[in-house]
């Protein structure tokens, strides 16, 4: 299998299918290569790596940072998730639209979430271990989000009763987010 980069429907989203080399011992795959990824629209400069372990139907998100937005390269090292990206960049042709990508440890598929988009995922397997590289450091004062069940977004989540953090359960709707706080599409 050759390394492939496929643009998503949201500008800046890139789905990566890495080359995987299995043999009787297991497998080998490259999870990031600065030159190859940069040549395909994914920044080569990441400053923070995050690791998340979650159980079935845990939904994390939809998160973004108001200032110091984070681009994220997301992949699963164990299990399966439905990863969701919401374009909330003022001036984007896809403003208010969402895109979902299935990520799992079998395919090793990755997705790049561009800066200015909200991001979240729900766990489809019994457990999932998710890794993501970020283009900016986490900034608690800039931490923002959108309600996972925002009716205007109409995201087709595979569960209607996810396990949420108290913070994620009360995030605002996109229409209630002040326009002057929205990221700008460039």
- Catalytic option among 37, 64, 75, 132: 132
CA dist 42 and 70 (Å) reads 12
Diameter of the chain by CA atoms?
55
- Catalytic option among 37, 63, 64, 112: 63
Confirm whether 33 is a catalytic residue: no
Q: Is 51 helix (H, G, I), strand (E, B) or coil?
A: strand
Residue 96 backbone zone (phi > 0: left; psi -120 to 50: alpha; other: beta): left
CA dist 53 and 139 (Å) reads 21
Residues 6+ apart with CB under 8 A from 88: 64, 95, 96, 116, 117, 118, 146, 174, 177, 182, 183
Q: How many CA atoms lie within 13 A of 118 on its CB side?
A: 30
Q: Report phi then psi at 35, rounded to 5.
A: -70, -45
Strand partners, 112: 14, 73
Confirm whether 108 is a catalytic residue: no
Q: What positions carry a catalytic annotation?
A: 63, 132
């Amino acid at each position: 299998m050759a390394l492939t980069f496929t643009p998503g429907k949201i500008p800046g989203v890139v789905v990566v299918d890495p080359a995987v080399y299995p043999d009787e011992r297991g497998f080998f795959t490259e999870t990031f290569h600065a030159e190859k990824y940069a040549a395909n629209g994914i920044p080569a400069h990441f400053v923070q790596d995050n690791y998340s372990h979650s159980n079935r139907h845990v939904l994390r998100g939809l998160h973004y940072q108001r200032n110091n937005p984070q681009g994220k390269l997301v992949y699963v090292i164990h299990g399966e998730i439905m990863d969701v990206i919401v374009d909330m960049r003022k001036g984007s042709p896809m403003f208010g639209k969402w895109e979902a990508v299935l990520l799992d440890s079998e395919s090793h598929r990755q997705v790049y979430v561009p800066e200015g988009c909200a991001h979240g995922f729900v766990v489809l397997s019994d457990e999932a271990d998710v890794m993501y590289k970020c283009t900016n450091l986490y900034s608690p004062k800039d931490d923002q989000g959108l309600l996972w069940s925002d009716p205007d977004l109409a995201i087709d989540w595979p569960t209607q009763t996810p396990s949420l953090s108290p913070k994620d359960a009360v995030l605002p709707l996109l229409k209630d987010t002040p326009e002057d706080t929205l990221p700008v599409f460039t």
